């Protein structure tokens, strides 16, 4: 008897192929998933049942290719076939809140429907494992018509699906491609999946069981086996492998230590299987955020997928699983510190950021690892042990610019300063104080550093006071204060430092040079709030011979030109951009000095 779909099948197929499934290849996943569900259903009734899946690509010379997939699962009764077809009419998507797959029968229909993306015609020959069931055949075509008939054939319980390739989809029926896809989705299935093409003998698709299903007598064999598995899976030689296991979520798998550094913002994705079928190659949220030095492959039997089936649903089970896996990785690092410090050192060199992230949130781990972690200082990279060997107080500069401004001068004062601009470094430095009472911390910036410079004697002060006042007047319109102190290195005439607020004001000034009046006044208002130190400061070095000379020059013009040039030079040494005003100052200063010098020479010649 003929039936007609109550829905527009063509429309549904279009919907599936263009919206729900990311690519036509998923038909292999869906067929395999149907077989797996059927085998699971049968194993529920008969725990001793051993599942088997067979895929055949018969030779079809001169005709469209076919694909045949058989399983020895629960099969369907005639009633169930009608039921799954009814389901297709009711819903074309998985349940919206991701609570899992529909019941086995409804899901079967949805999975089958995806095959129409690449098939002209589909037939399903099935016999239910329920006692007294007869073999039934369903035949559906892409135009939406289908037939159901009881064949009365003798067959073992199970299901055989036959696909007739649609014109233009031949590439998906290629034996190599089908084998690749079957392996891709089903390589972890705990029963044989075989493939035969063109009448050749069947080959096992999922020949390698994952290492966590094997028992190892020898730990080094175990490690080798894990690494080999990772190499095959991800095409990478990893530094190490860590077996993973969590009772919550019923998770087994492996974490592989990446052989290259990972950036903080890169997506941390893992290959995850749900009940041994591939769920996603780029699942997130499986590990704690700090653990971005590894790439994982895991199978979970008791986690919930998201509605899109791209990842796991964020619930308590996932949170507990994440904690358990995080603990495993943490313990791995702790054990490594005792058992294989060389390897740990190698890992830290590549992945200190990840390990710092953990240390920042875990006090005990911090205590154990703080002396391993590298920090950038103005005297090279140091661990905090090395640092504290030479100094009681940890000096740190809080930002990239602050560090750069003072690095050189601080070093020549013999001060070792940590660059705490990097993510986690400030947290770790603050934590030092919490975890090791008695450790002193001191923030160093341009201002505090210049306070530490040696003051001038009263006589010296007297000597330069008129110069300092003069320079202050020259630079006041540039929002810059002036000081004279003694510091090393002596060849440095002046040090320019500024705060974040001063930099912000500078950026406003630069922008106002191009902005119209509306925006300029808006920026002025915006800058109003700068509550910190909104001035830059230029600290002249009394020890510098040039500064000495300039300070004593009686000529206002020459002194002004020199101050301008020294100011701009100090800006450039601090990697500051020059505003057009400052560029003008530099040009004016240089040409003024040249002219002045030339006049002397010419005057001298004359």
Partner 1 sequence: MSETYEPGGRETVERLLAEALESIKDGPEKIAVLEEAVRHADAAGDLKLQYAAREDLVEAAYFGGAPDKAVVAYTWCLAQFDRHPGEFDEWRLLWRYKWMVNVIPDFPQIPREQIHGMIEDMERRFRRGGYGLRSVHQYRYRVARFMGERDEAIRQYRRSQAESPDDVSDCQACRIDEQSSFHVYTGDDARALEIAQSLVSFRHFCRTVPERTFARLLLPLLRLRRAEEAADFHRRGYRLSEVRSHGSIEYVSDHVVYLALSGDPLGAARMAAKHYRWSEENHNPHERFIFYRAAWLALDLLAGRGLTEVALRLPPTFPLCEESCLYETARLRDWFSARALEIARRFDARNGNDHFTRELADLDALKRSAEPVV
Chain length of the chain = 606
> Least distance to partner 1 from the beta carbon of 424, Å?
10
Answer yes or no whether residue 514 interacts with partner 1 by CB under 8 A.
yes
Q: Total residues at the site for partner 1 (CB under 8 A)?
A: 56
Residue from the set 171, 314, 390, 556 that interacts with partner 1 by CB under 8 A = 314
Answer yes or no whether residue 516 interacts with partner 1 by CB under 8 A.
yes
Residues 6 or more apart in contact with residue 23 via CB below 8 angstroms: none
User: 435: left (phi > 0), else alpha (psi -120 to 50), else beta?
Assistant: alpha
Interacting residues with partner 1 between 272 and 291 (CB under 8 A) = 285, 289
Residue from the set 8, 60, 393, 521 that interacts with partner 1 by CB under 8 A = 521
Answer yes or no whether residue 308 interacts with partner 1 by CB under 8 A.
yes
- The Cα 431–Cα 238 span in angstroms is 32
Site stretch for partner 1 (CB under 8 A), options 49-57, 95-103, 109-117, 123-131: 95-103
CB 257 within 8 A of CB 346: no
> Least distance to partner 1 from the beta carbon of 135, Å?
41
Element of type H or E holding 395: strand 393-397
CA 466 remoteness from chain centre: 58
Q: Which is nearer to partner 1, 220 or 517 (CB)?
A: 517
Site stretch for partner 1 (CB under 8 A), options 186-194, 270-278, 296-304, 313-321: 313-321
Provide the edge-to-edge strand list for the sheet that holds 494-497: 480-485, 536-541, 494-497
Residues 18, 23, 27: CA angle, nearest 5 degrees = 105
Residue from the set 277, 302, 578, 590 that interacts with partner 1 by CB under 8 A = 578
Q: Which is nearer to partner 1, 266 or 458 (CB)?
A: 266
CB 529 within 8 A of CB 499: no
CB 33 within 8 A of CB 277: yes
Site stretch for partner 1 (CB under 8 A), options 162-170, 213-221, 235-243, 502-510: 502-510
Interacting residues with partner 1 between 208 and 237 (CB under 8 A) = none
Answer yes or no whether residue 150 interacts with partner 1 by CB under 8 A.
no
Alpha-carbon dihedral sign for residues 17, 22, 24, 27: negative
Answer yes or no whether residue 350 interacts with partner 1 by CB under 8 A.
no
Site stretch for partner 1 (CB under 8 A), options 126-134, 199-207, 551-559, 568-576: 568-576
CA distances to 84, 134, 144, 159, 194 from 68, rounded to whole Å, are 20, 21, 21, 10, 12
CB 56 within 8 A of CB 92: no
Answer yes or no whether residue 364 interacts with partner 1 by CB under 8 A.
no
Q: Which is nearer to partner 1, 68 or 441 (CB)?
A: 441
- Output phi, psi for 330, to 5 deg: -65, -45
Answer yes or no whether residue 15 interacts with partner 1 by CB under 8 A.
no
Q: Which is nearer to partner 1, 323 or 335 (CB)?
A: 323
Residue from the set 316, 339, 459, 477 that interacts with partner 1 by CB under 8 A = 316
Site stretch for partner 1 (CB under 8 A), options 127-135, 206-214, 364-372, 401-409: 401-409
- The Cα 559–Cα 592 span in angstroms is 11
Site stretch for partner 1 (CB under 8 A), options 11-19, 134-142, 174-182, 304-312: 304-312
What is the DSSP secondary-structure string of 63-119?
S--EEEEEE-S----HHHHHHHHHHHHH-SS--TT------HHHHHHHHHHHHTTTE
Q: Which is nearer to partner 1, 423 or 476 (CB)?
A: 423
Is residue 315 helix, strand or coil? coil
> Least distance to partner 1 from the beta carbon of 408, Å?
6
Answer yes or no whether residue 265 interacts with partner 1 by CB under 8 A.
yes
CB 516 within 8 A of CB 500: no
Site stretch for partner 1 (CB under 8 A), options 32-40, 106-114, 433-441, 598-606: 433-441
- The Cα 564–Cα 582 span in angstroms is 8
Site stretch for partner 1 (CB under 8 A), options 151-159, 331-339, 460-468, 567-575: 567-575
Interface residues with partner 1 (CB under 8 A)?
Answer: 96-98, 263-266, 285, 289, 306-308, 314-316, 319, 399-401, 404, 407-408, 421-423, 426-427, 430, 433-434, 437, 441, 503-504, 507-508, 510-511, 514-516, 518-519, 521-523, 525-526, 528-529, 572-573, 575-578
């Amino acid at each position: 008897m003929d039936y007609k779909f109550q829905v527009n099948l063509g429309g549904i197929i279009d919907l599936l192929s263009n919206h729900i499934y990311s690519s036509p290849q998923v038909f292999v996943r869906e067929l395999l998933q149907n077989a797996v569900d059927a085998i699971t259903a049968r194993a529920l009734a008969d725990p001793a049942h051993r599942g088997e899946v067979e895929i055949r690509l018969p030779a079809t010379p001169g005709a469209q290719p076919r694909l045949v997939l058989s399983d020895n699962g629960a099969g369907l009764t005639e009633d169930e076939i009608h039921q799954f077809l009814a389901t297709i009419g009711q819903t074309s998507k998985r349940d919206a809140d991701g609570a899992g797959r529909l019941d086995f029968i409804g899901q079967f229909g949805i999975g089958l429907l995806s095959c129409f993306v690449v098939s002209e015609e589909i037939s399903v020959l099935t016999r239910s494992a329920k006692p007294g069931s007869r073999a039934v055949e369903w035949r559906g075509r892409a135009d939406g018509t289908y037939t159901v008939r009881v064949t009365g054939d003798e067959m073992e319980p199970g299901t055989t699906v036959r696909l007739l390739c649609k014109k233009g989809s031949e590439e998906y029926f290629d034996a190599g491609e089908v084998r690749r896809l079957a392996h891709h989705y089903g390589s972890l299935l705990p029963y044989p999946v075989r493939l035969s093409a063109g009448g050749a003998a069947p080959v096992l698709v999922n020949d390698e069981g994952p290492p966590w299903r094997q028992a190892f007598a020898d730990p080094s064999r175990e490690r080798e086996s894990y690494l080999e598995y990772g190499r095959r899976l991800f095409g990478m030689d990893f530094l190490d492998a860590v077996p993973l296991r969590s009772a919550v979520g019923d998770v087994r798998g492996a974490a592989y230590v990446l052989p290259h550094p990972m950036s903080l913002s890169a997506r941390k994705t893992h290959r995850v299987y749900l009940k041994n079928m591939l769920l996603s190659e780029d699942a997130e949220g499986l590990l704690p955020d700090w653990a971005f030095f590894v790439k994982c492959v895991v199978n979970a039997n008791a986690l919930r997928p998201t509605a899109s089936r791209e990842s796991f649903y964020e619930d308590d089970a996932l949170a507990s699983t994440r904690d358990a896996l995080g603990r495993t990785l943490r313990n791995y690092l702790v054990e490594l510190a005792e058992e294989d410090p060389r390897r740990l050192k190698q890992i830290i060199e590549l992945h200190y950021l990840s390990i710092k992230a953990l240390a920042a949130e875990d006090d005990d781990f911090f205590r154990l690892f703080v002396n391993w972690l590298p920090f950038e200082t103005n005297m090279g990279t140091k661990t905090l042990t090395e640092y504290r060997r030479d100094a009681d107080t940890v000096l740190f500069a809080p930002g990239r610019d602050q560090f750069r401004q003072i690095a050189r001068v601080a070093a020549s004062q013999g001060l070792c300063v940590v660059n705490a601009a990097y993510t986690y470094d400030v947290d770790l430095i603050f934590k030092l104080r919490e975890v090791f009472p008695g450790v002193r911390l001191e923030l160093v910036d341009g201002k505090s550093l210049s306070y530490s410079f040696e003051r001038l004697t009263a006589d010296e002060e007297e000597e330069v006071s008129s110069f300092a006042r003069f320079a202050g007047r020259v630079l006041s319109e540039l929002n810059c204060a002036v000081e004279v102190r003694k510091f090393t290195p002596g060849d440095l005439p002046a040090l320019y430092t500024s705060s974040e607020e001063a930099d912000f004001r500078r950026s406003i000034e630069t922008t106002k040079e191009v902005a119209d009046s509306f925006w300029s006044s808006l920026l002025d208002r915006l800058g109003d709030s700068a509550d910190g130190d909104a001035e830059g400061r230029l600290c002249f070095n009394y020890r510098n011979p040039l500064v000495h000379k300039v300070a004593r020059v009686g000529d206002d013009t020459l002194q002004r030109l020199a101050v301008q040039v020294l100011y701009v030079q100090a800006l450039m040494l601090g990697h500051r951009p020059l505003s057009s005003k400052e560029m003008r100052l530099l040009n004016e200063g240089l040409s003024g000095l040249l002219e002045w010098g030339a006049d002397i020479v010419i005057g001298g010649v004359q």
